[in-house]
A and B are shown apart, each in its own frame.
Chain A
Amino acid sequence: MGNHHKTLVHKTKRVLGLFGDFDEAFEVIADIRRYKVPGLTVDDVTLKSPIEHPEIEDVLGERPSNVPKFAFWGSLFGLVFGFLFLASAQANFLAQPSGGKPIITIPSNIVLAYEMMILFGVLSTLVGFIIGAKLMRKSTGLYDTAITVDQIGIVIEVADEQEQPLKDLFTKHNVIEVHEETLK
């Protein structure tokens, strides 16, 4: 999430503009990319939408996500922990041979460690998702139920002097509604 142009401007407000479709919202973002509002860059933009647009990376730029890392490390942990846990349990003092098979049977441990790998992979992906998507937190309050129907929202934090240019830009692209809240 590289915010290369760290502005020293103090942000006072958060503004939400609701648009009728992706095209108009993307026009706004394109204008922000062209610095139509001084001090605002595309990295300041948060897009709220009812669906994810297939080409969102082209519009907003590359923004990474940590979820694959969680999935990988979680799976690896599950695999290793699973095998060691099982082998330890099998090697306990009550180790009873059965069926002419060894005490620590590699084939069955592989099967079980595989299952543990996937289980822990899924659980850690879930954890990564909740952390990365910032779920389960108190929301900012700046939200409109129309976002879950069919409107696209653009949320930007602005300083006092950026507020009006931004609102003008919104109006230029047929914004349906504008909400705002003051940042504490």
Chain B
Amino acid sequence: MPSLLGNIFKGWADYSKGNEEGGHHDYEHMYALAIDLDLCTGCNACSTACYAENNLATVGEDKFGARQAMHWLRVERYFDEPDMDKIEETNDTDTQSRGASFLPMMCQHCNAAPCEPVCPVGATYHTVDGLNAQVYNRCIGSRYCANNCPFRVRYFNFYDNADSWPAPMDQQLNPDLSVRSKGVMEKCSMCLQRTRAARDTAKREGRELQDGDIQTACQQTCPTSAIMFGDLLDETSAISKIWKRHQVKLGVYKQDKENPELRGYRIFEELNVDTKVLYLERVREV
């Protein structure tokens, strides 16, 4: 107990800082994503790769319809304004005359994540890598974090999904990652297991991590290379260049761009949650 008391005074300067004051810890890395919606074709390869990489359970058609699915990365489909003349002509409201836009949505790893402070047992927190971590072992399943996520990207194990992998399909499971039991919350972790593996490799080879060493499953699989992943604190990385090019900064809820035509934006930025996924707006026909 005395050492705990001592900690308060020792670390007071540090412990009393919130995100606006620079936050508690110095980030070693700041992993972020950039997704080019113009390149995205909506093929869902990223979503499938995520299923494979992270031991996600396929819950079946009924449960999917009841919205109990486990897709950490979901590809959202948005339709443009419908062509009313065409609809009157064909009487068909389901078929849009213009194409759909696709938006891969996964955990945005907000620097000021609303899901983090509301967990009663502290099963979700912000790591020194800038990721929002979900500790499966600590989660007791109160689901407050999911309620507080404005993006609705947190998924709860409503069932024990072990029957998703009847033998010998369980041979396909990724050993770097656990299979979660019922009652536990999960979400995109930016393939944290791959980050760990890449770090171990770099250490073994006696070198620093370089940009491109870590590839998330979705990034690796995307056929059009629409997804980019990297470390924003690494000045040489592709991701920090693209964030800079589109003049999107962390730590603000409203960007101040010199060139407003730049395509880069963050979703729900006005909620001040400081997300780390940059979306590049789809180029539309005029």
Contact = CB atoms under 8 A, between A and B. Distances in A.
Given A91-B15, A102-B17, A104-B15, A97 B8 contact: no
Interface string A88-107: 11111101111111111110
Pick from A88, A93, A97 the residue with the most CB of B within 10 Å: A97
Interface residues of A, number: 20
Contacts of B122: 96, 98
Q: How large is the interface on B (under 10, 10 to 19, 20 to 34, 35 or more residues)?
A: 20 to 34
B129 to A, nearest CB: 13
B158 interface: no
Nearest to A106: B16
Nearest to B273: A100
A181 B5 CA distance: 57
Contact of A97 (B20, B25, B118): B25
B286 interface: no
Contacts of A101: 18-19, 112, 117
Given A84-B5, A97-B25, A103 B11 contact: yes
A99 B23 CA distance: 10
A88 B274 CA distance: 29
13 contacts: A87-B8, A95-B15, A95-B24, A97-B23, A97-B125, A100-B126, A100-B274, A101-B112, A101-B117, A102-B15, A102-B21, A104-B12, A104-B15
A101 B126 CA distance: 11
B167 interface: no
B169 interface: no
B125 A96 contact: yes
A101 B18 CA distance: 4
B8 A91 contact: yes
A96 B132 CA distance: 11
B4 A100 contact: no
B116 interface: yes
Contacts of A84: 5, 8
A99 B15 contact: no
Contact of B111 (A96, A100, A102): A100
Given A88-B8, A90-B15, A91-B7, A100 B20 contact: yes
Contact of A96 (B21, B114, B126, B274): B126
Nearest to B125: A96
Interface in A116-137: none
B283 interface: no
Contacts of B20: 100
Given A88-B4, A89-B4, A104-B16, A98 B11 contact: no
B16 A102 contact: yes
Interface in B80-131: 111-119, 122, 124-126
Nearest to A90: B15
A106 B12 CA distance: 12
Given A90-B15, A96-B122, A101-B18, 4 more contacts: A84-B5, A98-B122, A98-B126, A100-B20
Given A91-B11, A103-B14, A104-B15, A98 B125 contact: yes
A96 B14 CA distance: 12
B1 interface: yes
Interface in A61-99: 84, 87-93, 95-99
Nearest to B10: A91
Given A98-B125, A101-B18, A88 B117 contact: no
B121 to A, nearest CB: 11
A103 B4 contact: no
